[in-house]
Amino acid sequence: MNDHTMTRKDFLSSLAIGGTGLALFPWLASCTPEARKQTAGQKARLGIIGTGSRGRFHLANLLVDPAAEVVALCDDYEPHLDEAAAMCPGAKRYADYRKLLEDKEVEGVLICTPLSFHARMTVDALSAGKHVFCEKAMAHSPEELRSMLDAWKAGNRVLMVGQQRLYDPKYVRAMELVHGGAIGQVVGIRNYWYRNNDWRREVPSPELERRINWRLYDAYSRGLMTELACHQLQNGSWAMGGIQPSFVTGTGSIQFWKDGREVFDSVAAIYQYPNGVHMTFESIISNKHYGMGEQILGSEGTIDLVRGIMYSEAAVRRSGIRQLLDQIEQGVLSNSAFAGTSWATEEESHDKGIRFVDNVTVNDGASSVGASGDGSVELMHAFCQAVITGVQPDRIVEEAAWSTLLALLGDRATREGRRIDIPASLSDLPSYCI
C-alpha cells in the first residue's frame, strides 16, 4: 500500500482521529467509531414506503444493520409488498402511506417511490413528525424541491437523501485529494454513463406499464438526468468546493429506443462554473462500451473516481528502447494514407496511476437498483444513527438539493435546447419556479 491508498477500515479509523475528512465532509460525523458507540444497542424503528427494487435493496441492508428495525412496509402494488414482507415478516403492511405515517411506532421513513411522489410524501412525512430518508433525485421539479426544503426547515426532523457517493470511501478519499491540491487546480469535470439496455422492466399486464416503467414517462420521472446524472453532477459541486455552475446547456433525443417512452435515451449537458470550468454529462443507453466514468481533471493530475485511481500530468519516463519500439509500432499501425503527418493522434498519458482505495468494485451498469460497496450500507446506517439521535447530518440536504436542482435544470436545458441560468443559492430557488 502506498501513501494514497486506504481500505474501508482505514477510512473509518481516519474519521475517528478527526482528520481533514470531517472538516470537509461533516455529514460523516455519525460514521465515526465513537458515534457508533454512543448509539450501540439502540434501534431506529423504520417504515419503508415503496417496496420496489430499490426499497428492497435498502431493506436488505437494514435487516443486517444492528441499528435498524423495520416495523412497517407500504406499497400500493401488492406483488412488491409481498416480496418485501417475505424478507421482513414481522413488519406491518400498509397500502396507503398516510396510514403508515399515522403509525406511532414508526420513527423514520424511507421513501423509495417514483420521483414524482417524493415531494408530497416527504412533506407529509416531515409534517407527521417522521424523520425522512428520500431516494434521489429529491424532486420532480424545482417547485417541489422548494416545498421539500421549506418543510424540512420548518420542522426539526432529519432529512437525508440517497446520494450514496457522499458515504463511499472511494469518493471521500478522492475529494480529500482534490481539496488537498493533489491534482492542482480543477480545470474540468467529465461524467458519462453508457448502458446498452432499454431501461424497461417486465410488465405483468399493459395497464401497469406506467407504474412499473415510471422512469420512461415525463409525469413520473425526468429520465436520465434525474436517475443517473443526479449522482454524477454532485461530484462537480463536491470537487469545486461547494461552488455551483452559473448555467447549463444541452441537448437530448430519443434516438434508439423508440418504444413509446417520453424521456430521452441520449442526453448531453454542459455546465459552466463561474471560473470557466466545465462539467459535462453524457448518457447513451444503446451502447455500453465505455461504461460509466467520473473524472476530475486537474492542472497537475486526474482522478478517476469510479476506479479509484489518480494519474499525474507529469510526463512518464520511458526507456529509450521502449520509445523506439513504440515508434516502430506507431509507424506500422498508423494510416499515413488517410491524413499524413499534419494530423496524428495525440497519445494519451502512459501513467499507470496510483490506486488510492483498495477493493474497488465496478459493475456493468445493467442493474438500476444499486451496487455493492457503493456507500449505500454506510448511508443507511447514518440514517439510523440520525433517527436515533435526532441530529441532522450537516450539509447533506444542501448537497442533495443542489445535485437535484442541477439535474432538473439540465433536463430543462436538454428539452428546450437552450441555456438555463442556475441560481447562486438555494434561497433563490423560488424565482425558478414557473
The site for another protein (CB under 8 A) is made up of 317-325
The nearer residue to another protein, 319 or 372, going by C-beta atoms, is: 319
Q: Give the whole-angstrom CA distance, residue 31 versus residue 401.
A: 22
Shortest separation between residue 313's beta carbon and another protein, angstroms: 20
For residues 399 and 28, the answer to whether their CB atoms sit within 8 Å is: no
Q: Give the whole-angstrom CA distance, residue 284 versus residue 281.
A: 10
Shortest separation between residue 328's beta carbon and another protein, angstroms: 11
The nearer residue to another protein, 203 or 324, going by C-beta atoms, is: 324
Shortest separation between residue 244's beta carbon and another protein, angstroms: 47
The nearer residue to another protein, 219 or 325, going by C-beta atoms, is: 325
The nearer residue to another protein, 206 or 320, going by C-beta atoms, is: 320
Shortest separation between residue 353's beta carbon and another protein, angstroms: 21
The nearer residue to another protein, 322 or 395, going by C-beta atoms, is: 322
CA 19, 24, 26 angle in degrees (round to 5)? 90
Q: Which of 14, 19, 39, 92 is nearest to 391 (CA)?
A: 39
The nearer residue to another protein, 326 or 416, going by C-beta atoms, is: 326
Q: Give the whole-angstrom CA distance, residue 118 versus residue 141.
A: 11
Shortest separation between residue 327's beta carbon and another protein, angstroms: 10
Shortest separation between residue 317's beta carbon and another protein, angstroms: 7
CA distances from 393 to 25, 30, 113, 158, 298 (A): 10, 8, 23, 8, 30
DSSP letter string over 394-422?
A: TTHHHHHHHHHHHHHHHHHHHHHTS-EE-
Q: Which of 403, 373, 404 is nearest to 307 (CA)?
A: 373
The nearer residue to another protein, 104 or 317, going by C-beta atoms, is: 317
Shortest separation between residue 329's beta carbon and another protein, angstroms: 13
Residue 35 burial (CB count, 10 A): 17
DSSP letter string over 158-208?
A: -EEE--GGGG-HHHHHHHHHHHTTTT-SEEEEEEEEE-BS------SSGGG
Q: Three-state SS for 151?
A: helix
H/E segment holding residue 304: strand 301-304
